[in-house]
A and B are shown apart, each in its own frame.
Chain A
Amino acid sequence: MTNVIACIDGSTASPAVCDYAAWSSRQMDAPLVLLHVLDKSEFPSGKRNLSGNLTFGNRESLLNELAELDAQRNKIALEQGRLMLEEAYDRVKAAGVAEADRRQRHGDLLETLVKMQEETRLLVLGKEGEHTDSLGEHIGSNVESVVRTVQRPVLVTTTEYTEPRRIMIAFDGSATTRKCVEMVAGSPLFKGLPVHVVMVGDDKPDTRSQLDWASETLAAAGFEAPASIQAGDVETVLCNYRKEHDINLIVMGAYGHSRIRQFLVGSTTANVVRHAHVPVLLLR
Chain B
Amino acid sequence: MPADVETTEISNMYETIRRDWFGNIRGDLIAGIVVALALIPEAIAFSIIAGLDPKVGLYASFAVAVIIAFTGGRPGMISAATAAMAVLMVTLVKEHGLEYLLAATLLTGVIQIVFGFLKLGSLMRFVSRSVMTGFVNALAILIFMAQLPELTNVTWHVYAMTAAGLGIIYLLPMVTKAIPSPLVTIVVLTVIAIVFNIDVRTVGDMGELPDTLPVFLWPDVPLNFETLAIIFPYSLSLAIVGLLESLMTASIIDDLTDSKSDKNRECKGQGIANIGSGLIGGMAGCAMIGQSVINVKSGGRGRLSSFAAGVYLLIMVVFLDTWVAQIPMAALVAVMIMVSIGTFSWNSLLDMKKHPPSTTIVMVMTVIVVVATHNLAFGVLTGVLLASLFFANKVGQYKYVVSKLSEDGTTRSYRVVGQVFFASADKFIEFFDFKEAIDKVVIDLTDAHFWDITAVAALDRVVIKFRREGTEVEIIGLNEASATIVDRFAVHDKPDAVDKLMGH
Contacts and interface: CB of A to CB of B under 8 A. Distances in A.
A43 B8 contact: no
Identify whether the interface residues of B are mostly helix, strand, loop, or mixed: helix
Given A57-B347, A110-B15, A145-B15, A50 B34 contact: yes
Contacts of B60: none
Contact of A50 (B6, B10, B177): B177
Contacts of B299: 44, 48-50
Given A42-B301, A48-B177, A53-B181, A59 B15 contact: no
A136 interface: no
B347 A51 contact: no
A23 interface: no
Say which size band chain A's interface belongs to: 20 to 34
Interface string A46-67: 0111111111111110110011
Given A42-B301, A50-B178, A258-B10, A66 B342 contact: no
B181 A66 contact: no
A49 B341 CA distance: 19
Contact of A42 (B178, B259, B341): B259
B487 interface: no
A284 interface: yes
Give the one of A54, A60, A145, A148 with max B CB within 10 A: A54
Contact of B341 (A44, A50, A55): A55
Contacts of B1: 284
B347 A52 contact: no
B489 interface: no
Nearest to B300: A44
B224 interface: no
B301 A43 contact: yes
A49 B10 contact: no
Interface stretch (B86-94, B107-115, B249-257, B440-448): B249-257
B23 A50 contact: no
Contacts, number: 128
A50 B338 CA distance: 15
Contacts of B176: 51
B296 A52 contact: no
Interface in A240-263: 255, 257-260
Given A48-B30, A53-B169, A43 B24 contact: yes
Given A53-B173, A148-B7, A259-B7, A43 B298 contact: no
Contacts of B397: none
A70 interface: yes
Contact of A43 (B12, B23, B256, B345): B23
A242 B338 CA distance: 68
Interface in A116-166: 145, 148-149, 151
A139 to B, nearest CB: 14
A63 B256 contact: yes
Say which size band chain B's interface belongs to: 35 or more
A38 to B, nearest CB: 13
Contacts of B210: none
A50 B4 contact: no
A52 B4 contact: no
Nearest to B166: A53
Contact of A53 (B27, B178, B342, B346): B342
B54 interface: no
A96 to B, nearest CB: 35
Contacts of B301: 42-44
A50 B182 contact: no
A250 to B, nearest CB: 21
A66 B256 CA distance: 7
B12 A51 contact: no
Contact of A55 (B24, B170, B259): B170
Interface string B293-309: 11011110110000000
Contacts of B289: 59
Interface in A1-55: 40, 42-44, 47-55
A54 B294 contact: yes
Contact of A54 (B177, B259, B293): B293
Contacts of A259: 7, 10-11, 14
A54 B15 contact: no
Interface string B207-249: 0000000000000000000000000000000000000000000
Interface of B: 1, 3-4, 6-8, 10-12, 14-15, 19, 23-24, 27, 30-31, 34-35, 37-38, 169-170, 172-173, 176-183, 252, 255-259, 289-290, 293-294, 296-299, 301-302, 338-339, 341-343, 345-347
Given A43-B27, A58-B342, A70-B258, 6 more contacts: A51-B297, A52-B298, A59-B256, A66-B258, A151-B4, A260-B10
